[in-house]
């Protein structure tokens, strides 16, 4: 049940990124407002990977872009290394952005089709005049080699001459070449074939280790997120509903929505029938007019009158470990949901 609260924010250590009560709204027409992100709080420690998951339209990509101030949040704080990005602008924001980069979902349309690869990758270095021209060219070649592309072949070509997987490698090179501290990865493998997905994920892990990167990894596939994340946050219709260590969250999900998402992960076993697994029914409510109380209540088999009236608050799941849930009636260990239909959660 998508809720509010900051019990899951960690008191120990200094997070590189801390988002507090983030709200992003878009006006459509004179009166209508799209409630894309509502009161979202999260933190990411330096060197950590936070996986942000949820079905299409839940607001996860908008959250990532709002962290980059694309667009500027309606309200809330985005603290990067202690500095509020929402409170700075102009040259100061541009300088801070050299420490934050983004890998976009579509690897081909995110690259300028008219520019050569060497110009795309070196753009950030050229803007800030990092080193001499020869130093920048050498760094671009090294970065192309690091992501698995031959500089002699790739340097003078344009994006349309590469495959989707190769374009994503170019995007990664462009993001890492300025030596950022944090990279927001907005579904970087969703548009790629499964075999290419594995290559890109392995590349991200290698780059993270080599360049000591911190990642916010946005995806809708929980199987992908588990393998790359140190912590996972589940999102539904603009609110967080569950946060925790991936091993705890996957082994014993406390939220009905997380349970249904995990059940939707394909199982490579012909004896497992899809119609025998937990599914979730109904359509996602419109963000123009989200449900009162718990936003997940219109699709939840455990919803009652309390869910209609009260917004659930994030609280620690009973037991030890890093596991928090925003739900009035969390799942008990071993509990299963009554069968309902999940539409496109992991499509």
Final residue in a domain of this structure, among 179, 200, 222: 179
Final residue in a domain of this structure, among 125, 145, 179: 179
Is 70 exceeded by the pLDDT of residue 277? Answer: no
In a shared domain, residues 154 and 209? no
Query: How distant is the alpha carbon of residue 345 from its chain centre?
Result: 15
In a shared domain, residues 241 and 334? yes
> Look-up: residue for tokens 């005049």?
129
Is 50 exceeded by the pLDDT of residue 342? Answer: no
Q: Is residue 105 included in any domain, yes or no?
A: no
- Between strands 323-325 and 315-316, the pairing is antiparallel
Count of domains for the chain: 2
> What's the CATH number where 209 sits?
3.40.50.300
> What is the tens place of the pLDDT at every residue in 42-71?
999 999 999 999 988 899 999 999 999 988
pLDDT confidence band for 2 (50 / 70 / 90): low
Q: Rounded to two decimals, what is the model's pTM?
A: 0.91
How many C-beta neighbours within 10 Å does residue 22 have?
Answer: 24
Q: Which of 223, 193, 182, 32 is nearest to 96 (CA)?
A: 182
In a shared domain, residues 190 and 72? yes
Beta bridge partners of residue 244, listed in sequence order: 232, 323
Q: Is residue 104 included in any domain, yes or no?
A: no
In a shared domain, residues 214 and 281? yes
In a shared domain, residues 253 and 200? yes
Q: Report the distance separating Cα 94 and Cα 17, nearest Å.
A: 17
Least confident among 88-92, 112-116, 197-201, 338-342? 338-342
Q: Is residue 245 included in any domain, yes or no?
A: yes
In a shared domain, residues 2 and 148? no
In a shared domain, residues 210 and 292? yes
How many C-beta neighbours within 10 Å does residue 27 have?
Answer: 10
In a shared domain, residues 70 and 12? yes
Beta bridge partners of residue 25, listed in sequence order: 35
Q: Given its phi and psi angles, is residue 131 left (phi above 0), alpha (psi -120 to 50 degrees) or beta? A: left
pLDDT confidence band for 319 (50 / 70 / 90): confident
In a shared domain, residues 144 and 283? no
Boundaries of domain holding 201: 1-99+180-347
Final residue in a domain of this structure, among 179, 195, 218: 179
User: What does the pLDDT average to over 78-83?
Assistant: 93
8 Å CB contact between 342 and 261: yes
Q: What letters, b where the CB count within 10 A reaches 16 and e where it falls short, cover 45-61?
A: beebbbbbbbbebbbbb
Secondary structure class of 65 (helix, strand, coil): helix
Q: What token pair was written down for 176?
A: 């890492």
pLDDT of residue 207: 93
8 Å CB contact between 248 and 322: yes
Is 50 exceeded by the pLDDT of residue 198? Answer: yes
* Count of helices and strands (H, E) across the chain: 11, 12
In a shared domain, residues 172 and 127? yes
pLDDT confidence band for 347 (50 / 70 / 90): very low
In a shared domain, residues 124 and 166? yes
């Amino acid at each position: 049940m998508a809720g509010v609260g900051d019990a899951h924010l960690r008191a120990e250590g200094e997070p590189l990124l801390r988002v507090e009560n983030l709200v992003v709204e878009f006006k459509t027409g004179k009166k209508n407002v799209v409630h894309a992100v509502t009161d979202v709080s999260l933190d990411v420690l330096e060197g950590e990977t936070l996986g942000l998951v949820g079905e299409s339209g839940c607001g996860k990509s908008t959250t990532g872009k709002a962290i980059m101030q694309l667009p500027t949040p309606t309200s809330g704080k985005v603290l990067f290394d202690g500095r509020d990005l929402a409170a700075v602008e102009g040259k100061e924001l541009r300088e801070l952005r050299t420490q934050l980069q983004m890998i976009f979902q579509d690897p081909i349309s995110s690259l300028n089709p008219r520019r050569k690869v060497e110009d795309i990758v070196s753009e950030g270095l050229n803007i800030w005049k990092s080193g001499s021209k020869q130093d920048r060219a050498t760094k671009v070649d090294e970065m192309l080699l690091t992501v698995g592309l031959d500089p002699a072949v790739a340097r003078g070509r344009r994006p349309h001459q590469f495959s989707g997987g190769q374009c994503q490698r170019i995007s990664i090179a462009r993001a890492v070449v300025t030596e950022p501290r944090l990279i927001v990865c907005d579904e970087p493998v969703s548009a790629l074939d499964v075999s290419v997905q594995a290559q890109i994920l392995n590349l991200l892990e290698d780059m993270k280790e080599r360049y000591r990167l911190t990642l916010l990894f946005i995806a809708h596939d929980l199987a992908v997120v588990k393998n790359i994340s140190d912590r996972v946050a589940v999102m539904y219709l603009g609110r967080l509903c569950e946060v925790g260590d991936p091993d705890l969250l996957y082994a014993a999900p406390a939220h009905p929505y997380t349970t249904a998402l995990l059940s939707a992960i394909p199982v490579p076993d012909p004896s497992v029938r899809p119609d025998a697994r937990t599914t979730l029914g109904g359509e996602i409510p419109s963000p123009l007019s989200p449900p009162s109380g718990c936003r997940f209540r219109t699709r939840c088999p455990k919803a009652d009158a309390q869910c209609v009236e009260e917004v659930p608050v994030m609280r620690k799941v009973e037991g030890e470990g890093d596991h928090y849930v925003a739900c009035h009636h969390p799942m008990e260990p071993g509990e299963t949901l009554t069968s309902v239909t999940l539409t496109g959660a992991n499509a």
